[in-house]
Structure 1
Amino acid sequence: MNALDQVPAEFLTALGSLRKARCRSELHLDEIPAPSRLAPFAVALGAEVIGPVPHPAPAAVHGPVSAALVRAAGTVDDDNEELATGRFILLYDPDGSAVWDGEFRIVTYIRAQLEPEMGNDEMLGSVAWAWLVEALENHRAPYRAAGGTATRVLSESFGTLSDRPGSIDIELRASWTPAGPDIRSHLEAWSDMVCTFAGLPPLPEGVTALPRRRRN
């Protein structure tokens, strides 16, 4: 029996919709090992935005192939820096979950480094969450039961590392339940979020960009 014969049709539909997602070429997505204890079926993607960013930046199909093509074209090199990183995990439980309020659940993580003076901004977490809500709405990605946590991470170095400048990162951990197995718009919305964290325009109307991180 083929292994795919044991995978529920609804989860296969969701996987197919992910493959159709079109994301900005600055964002490099690759499949990574999925957690095995959160749901009977799962798929995970890791993302990174590397700068400086080429212009113009046409849309590209996500995945290892597109990332390889970008590097082959010379738009990414080893001297560039990581502007943002993230994970996108799709969980599926055929029996459903009362906690999720559905059979599917999307779990995400985004992290980016900010200008030090932004660390004391009391609105920082609210802005990060607003980006998520706006991105889902802009991509018409229906969802429910959304929740998340925004965290500011201060790093200071001492002793032999005292010359290393301090840094402040913003982390957003969020999850939500998509309305159905069509996950394409959800991945596209999330990928825009990662680019927003990296300081790349365009942003949703009325939202102010966080300053790009300093180069050491």
Structure 2
Amino acid sequence: MQWRRGFTTDEIGSPQRIAPYSVAIEGELGDGGDEALSTGRLILLHDPAGNDSWSGTFRLVTYVRAEVDLDMVTDPLLPDVAWSWFTDALAHRGCAAHALAGTVTASYGKGFGDMADADRAEVELRCSWTPTLDVRHPLTAHLAAWEDLMGHVAGQPPLPPGVSSLPTGRHG
């Protein structure tokens, strides 16, 4: 998989009791410096015998989170918009999938005392879906959709082909 600039992944331990076979990665979309704009995990589960609750033999599970502006976290439409980031990412990448499930959580934490400047607003998506994986529908499309979701949550959606972003800082 060729990841977008600023996006890094590492293989991590995967659940052993949910399915006979699994692999997991964690990802981070960085800002070009030391700060992560979004973080997430993606797990591919496989049970050759099938799983009735998945309606298939494969299941993808993700957890994605990012800090957002306070105005955003208090918007009652945020959960619906965040869910659309997920479904749109799958559609945009041509992913064949069914049995979509998930939650969107918007949270705000207020700092006090020595942590008075530590106010924090976050959005978190926990999603799972059953992918169709075959010659016409490769896993890489789902990986690309996950990467797009990480960008949307971070406020850095993917750019159309042939479009480049301009640098945001001055060098001098």
Band of TM-score, shorter chain: 0.7 to 0.9
User: CA separation in 2, counterparts of 1:26 and 1:185?
Assistant: 19
List structure 1 runs of 4+ shifted beyond 4 angstroms. Answer: none
TM-score by length of 2: 0.85
In structure 1, the gaps of 5 or more residues are: 1-20, 53-76, 205-216
TM-score by length of 1: 0.69
> Does the CA contact (< 8 Å) of 1:149 and 1:173 recur in 2?
yes
- Give the Å deviation of 1:197: 1.3
User: CA separation in 2, counterparts of 1:144 and 1:33?
Assistant: 26
Equivalent in the alignment of 2:2? 22
Structure 1 residue corresponding to 2:13, chosen from 28, 33, 37: 33
Structure 2 residue corresponding to 1:164, chosen from 113, 117, 121: 117
Q: Which has the higher contact order (CA 8 A, sep 6+)?
A: 1
Note the 1:175-186 alignment, pairs <5 A.
175-180=128-133, 182-186=138-142
Q: How many residues align?
A: 157
Higher strand content, 1 or 2 = 2
Deviations for 1:71-119, whole angstroms, at most 9, x for unmatched residues?
A: xxxxxx5xx2111000000000111000000000000010000011112
> Does the CA contact (< 8 Å) of 1:23 and 1:192 recur in 2?
no
Deviations for 1:34-92, whole angstroms, at most 9, x for unmatched residues?
A: 1111111100000001114xxxxxxxxxxxxxxxxxxxxxxxx5xx2111000000000
Higher helix content, 1 or 2 = 1
Q: Over aligned residues, Cα RMSD in angstroms? A: 1.5
Identical positions, percent: 41
Structure 2 residue corresponding to 1:192, chosen from 148, 156, 160: 148
In structure 2, the gaps of 5 or more residues are: 161-172
Structure 1 residue corresponding to 2:30, chosen from 28, 50, 54: 50
